[in-house]
Homo-oligomer: A and B are copies of this chain.
Amino acid sequence: MATASVINGELAAGKSASELNTGRFTAVYSEVQTSRIDHDLPLPSVLKGSFKIVDGPPSSAAGNPGEIAKLFPCLFGQPSAQLLPCREPVVSEKKLKIGVVLSGGQAPGGHNVICGIYDYLQDRAKGSTVYGFRGGPAGVMKCKYVELTSEYIYPYRNQGGFDMICSGRDKIETPEQFKQAEEAVIKLDLDGLVVIGGDDSNTNACLLAENFRKKNMKTRVIGCPKTIDGDLKCKEVPASFGFDTACKIYAEMIGNVMVDARSTGKYYHFVRLMGRAASHITLECALQTHPNITVIGEEVQTLIAELNEILARGVVDEAGLWKKKLTGQSFMLFELLPQAIQEQLMLERDPHGNVQVAKIETEKMLIQMVETELEKRRQEGIYKDYFKGQSHFFGYEGRCGLPSNFDASYCYALGYGAGALLHEGKTGLISSVGNLAAPVSEWTVGGTALTALMDVERRHGKFKPVIKKAMVELDGAPFKKFASMRNEWALENHYVSPGPVQFVGQSSDAVNHTLLLELGA
């Protein structure tokens, strides 16, 4: 067993880093990292006192409940659960053995989910054991784990990254892999497993829960919503963790570039942000910084959907008459695109026939488009200025930053709540912390039936359960706010520079715009 201890802030170069011996490596911590370790995490009031867990009404599914019921015969329809304060101290003598796994790409706050689970068990089920599966779901299948102790997790409190137990992108899919997972949880005698991941990982968590239940195994499974993309959310799960911090880091960079642009006027800056189909990050960063022009992927989805329709019917003629089938706005948008991008949209499809949007270096494409247009105007004698584009891609810098106060508290509550749900014997739920626009003390805590978030997709002739990715809603409050302001931002200078994430002071507890607007706060 690895142990950890703080070697009393021994000074490294420049008197600003202290060494922490985690047993596996000597971690050198910056002053800010060190100051974060002992950051006092507020808990929602309900988690501070005595609480009882109250079930809601039976649940259904996000779509095709009949199919979901067939796929999850044991779990379908189970109620969501809510933690409510109660007078009598609920004392359970039950000690638990819990496993935890990080799945998929990093998001700031993952360590705090684990700390939350651990602290719940320390506080409410003394003598329990927590195992961290190493390297993601592969760690579950290979039963590669480490026992987590106070000393072990201490250096990771409020720290970014997933390096406490690391993550991975493997999936537990085949019957053999399910068998391996079963063997692992039996070997460790687990009462519960917490899966910290995105939409796919939480679908996987639900399949595991169903499987364990079907086989009358005692192991319960609880999911936690993680992804900087912000596309795992619904009414009961208002946010995925990591989104807040990542957006704040990207917005810091964008704001700095804006000040740069305003100081010289030498370049036009084009910024692309990490992410896949959903544009929540871009929308949030736009709300934080007010760029002149923002392209929200969901707005161009119409064109792509129309193209998909046309291509599926196979009526693309060389003369381009097929373009008449596009609606007015889509036609204009398509004609605006450089030929290379037009061809990419028409030809380069993934195995599902979808456009591979994330592979397009939009920032460079746009610079090229503007150059072409201005050159045309120059030839016509109507443009005499000079244009110089500078491209930026912000991605990896944001996934592993120190969690903002919001993400630190949110994750801690998610983990603490997950512990409570497992202690109560719940399974197939996703840890759900709500009322997030209010002060932490007023946050609600509970669990939502994972089956309630599911729909089915037909793949290879079979129905597969999926938690639908939440896309930017063009009639949702964040987009509408953006849409109401963007014309002004385009013409006048409204740049905002959010500056670096602060951990102390007035602005340090600020919640992102998307969440506030979605919650109507």
Contacts and interface: CB of A to CB of B under 8 A. Distances in A.
Interface in A394-422: 396-402
Contact of A290 (B28, B401, B511, B516): B28
B397 A256 contact: yes
B253 A160 contact: no
Contacts of A166: 262-265
B401 A499 contact: yes
A297 interface: no
Interface stretch (A29-37, A116-124, A357-365): A29-37
Contact of A516 (B14, B32, B517): B14
Contacts of A500: 32, 249, 252, 401-402, 500-502
A88 B238 CA distance: 66
10 contacts: A14-B516, A26-B493, A28-B496, A35-B506, A162-B263, A166-B263, A253-B397, A390-B396, A401-B500, A504-B505
A390 to B, nearest CB: 7
Contact of A30 (B32, B167, B255, B504): B255
Given A30-B499, A167-B263, A262-B161, A400 B16 contact: no
A382 to B, nearest CB: 25
Instruction: Enumerate the 3 nearest inter-chain pairs by beta-carbon distance, A residue then B residue, closest first.
Output: A14-B513, A32-B499, A500-B500
Contacts of A399: 256, 260
Interface of A: 12-17, 25-33, 35-36, 105-106, 159-163, 166-168, 249, 252-253, 255-260, 262-265, 267, 269, 287-288, 290, 390, 392, 396-402, 481, 485, 492-507, 510-513, 516-517
**How many monomers of this protein are in the complex?**
2
A30 B162 contact: no
A499 B16 contact: no
Nearest to A263: B162
Nearest to A482: B13
Given A25-B493, A496-B30, A400 B256 contact: yes
Most chain-B CB neighbours within 10 Å: which of A27, A32, A255, A390? A32
A152 B191 CA distance: 65
Contacts of A257: 396-397, 400
A106 B263 contact: yes
B492 A25 contact: yes
